[in-house]
Each structure stands twice: as structure tokens, then as C-alpha cells.
Amino acid sequence: MKIRVLGCHGSDQLLDKSQGHHQCRTCGFLINGTVMVDAGTIGGALRLDEQRRIRHILLSHLHFDHVQGLPTLADNLVDDAADSVELIGTVQVIGGLRRYLFNDKVYPNFMALPHPKRPIFKTRTFKPGQEIEVGALRVTPIRVNHLVPTVGFLVREGASSFLYSGDTHETEQIWKIAAREPTLKAVFIEASFPDELSELARVSKHLTPTLLVRALQKIKRPDLPVYVYHVKPRFRDDIARQLARFRLPNLTVLEEGQEIVV
């Protein structure tokens, strides 16, 4: 599988050049050119012909930083003759998009436009724990511990899979599933705040470097590449420094534009 990082941060921000890395965008990962995992960034990072190739969008939860690419994607595809793009999430996410975003107030209802028989977005719901087929991928959504109903994903193609934690605080089930998954080749785990803001991480239900490493130990696979994402841009240096102290040889703090093959 080829994973293209369109956005991998907990907010949008242009960093100072002295900080090395440039434009931070909210979370959106393009798998094999056709499946998105989260929709925080789409049009801001893709040409129109690339946007047209997207067939499915897996949504971890309803928070704005994970869905904000959807309205402009709909706009960009409005005169497109291709099939609808499938939005895939829990009933809370799909219902929430209908009620709060594509409600003809915040934005037009692209679940029925430009034509009810061929809307920009069609929808599919899943139940956490049940594996689903998404194009050529097999995906298991797993409930995690966040402020709103949220899942992480185990995304598998053939004999390879990767884990995507979703936004989460301390949780158990997803690490157990990862530990017993024979095809697992990489894990993407969030770390939003530095250790000294652990109280903020607790109330906003995110992870810190120390909590990330504790989660990793539960997978018991020190060989696995670990990709850290959902870093809040203003804490990027602090989080990277704190993670470096653990000297994990296979750990990368993700940047926009990276491509990962698993």
C-alpha cells in the first residue's frame, strides 16, 4: 500500500522557516490514490485530477479538523461525471455530517446535489469491530477513547496492514488488536500535546509522547515503524524532542508530502 501524507497535524499552521518544516495541515492520508483516511486535507494538497480519483473516504470522527476537506472537495467535483464518492463512518459521523455540515445552511447538501440520483457524496455506515471492504482494502474500525464517538482503523491489503489510531487518549482494545495482527507493517499514532500539558491531553482526550510510548509497548512489536501524527504545530519541536529521548529507532514524526509504502 502506498500512503501519501496530505496533512498530518492537529491544526493548520505555516511554521517559521527556522523550524525547518513548512506548512502544517489537518489530517488526511491518501491510500493508493483512491481511498482517503480522514478528510482534514484534500483540495489543499491535490491537483483536480488527483481529487477525481478518490472513490472512498474513511472518517474516524466528526471533529472539524478531520472533515474540513469535504466541502471544497464537493465544490471541486460538482461538474464531474464520475460516480459519487463514498463517505464511510459510524452512524454518528454520517448523521452528524448531514445535520451539522451539509445541511443547506453551513453548506449545500452535497449528499443530494447536484442530483439526488447522482449526488457528490453517497454514504455507508459501519459498526466498530466489524471488518468492511473498501475498494481493494479490508478495513476494521476499532472504537477508541476521544471526546466524541471515534474509531481508529486497521487497514489491510493482502498480506500488509497498518494501524491508524484516530484521535485518542489512553485506550486498550486497538493495541490488543494490533498486537495479534500478523500482517501489521506500520502504526500511525497520534501525539497532540507535550508531556507538560498532560492535563490538557487528558481533558481533550489526546496522547502525549509518554502516553504514546506506553501505548506502543502494549503492541509488543519494537520492530514496527511508528509514524507520529496529529501533532499540534505550535508544540512540534517540543513533542519531537520528548519523543527522541525514548530513542526508538523506527519512529518518525510525520511531515506533509511524505509517502510511506507498507
Nearer to Zn ion among residue 63 and residue 143 (C-beta): 63
Residue choice 63, 169, 232, 236 for contact with Zn ion (CB under 5 A): 63
Task: Verify binding: residue 65, Zn ion, rule CB under 5 A.
Answer: yes
Residue choice 38, 157, 167, 256 for contact with Zn ion (CB under 5 A): 167
All cell numbers assigned to 230: 496529529
Cα torsion at 236, 239, 241, 245 (round to 10°)?
A: -160
Taking the C-alpha atoms of residue 235 and residue 216, their distance in angstroms, rounded to an integer, is 21
Task: Pick the piece of the chain touching Zn ion (CB under 5 A) from 48-56, 64-72, 156-164, 231-239.
Answer: 64-72
Task: Verify binding: residue 38, Zn ion, rule CB under 5 A.
Answer: no
Q: What's the burial of 222, exposed, middle or buried (CB within 10 Å: 0-12/13-18/19+)?
A: exposed
Nearer to Zn ion among residue 65 and residue 256 (C-beta): 65
Task: Pick the piece of the chain touching Zn ion (CB under 5 A) from 67-75, 126-134, 137-145, 159-167.
Answer: 159-167
Nearer to Zn ion among residue 99 and residue 122 (C-beta): 99
Ranges assigned E (strand) in the chain: 2-7, 13-14, 23-24, 28-31, 35-37, 56-58, 85-89, 114-115, 118-119, 121-125, 132-134, 137-143, 151-157, 160-164, 184-190, 226-229, 251-253, 259-261
Q: In angstroms, give the least distance from the CB of 202 to Zn ion.
A: 14
Query: Which residue in the block uniquely carries the three cell numbers 491531553?
Result: 201
Task: Verify binding: residue 206, Zn ion, rule CB under 5 A.
Answer: no
Nearer to Zn ion among residue 21 and residue 25 (C-beta): 25
Q: How many residues bind Zn ion (CB under 5 A)?
A: 3
Question: Which spans of this chain sit near Zn ion (rule: CB under 5 A)?
Answer: 63, 65, 167
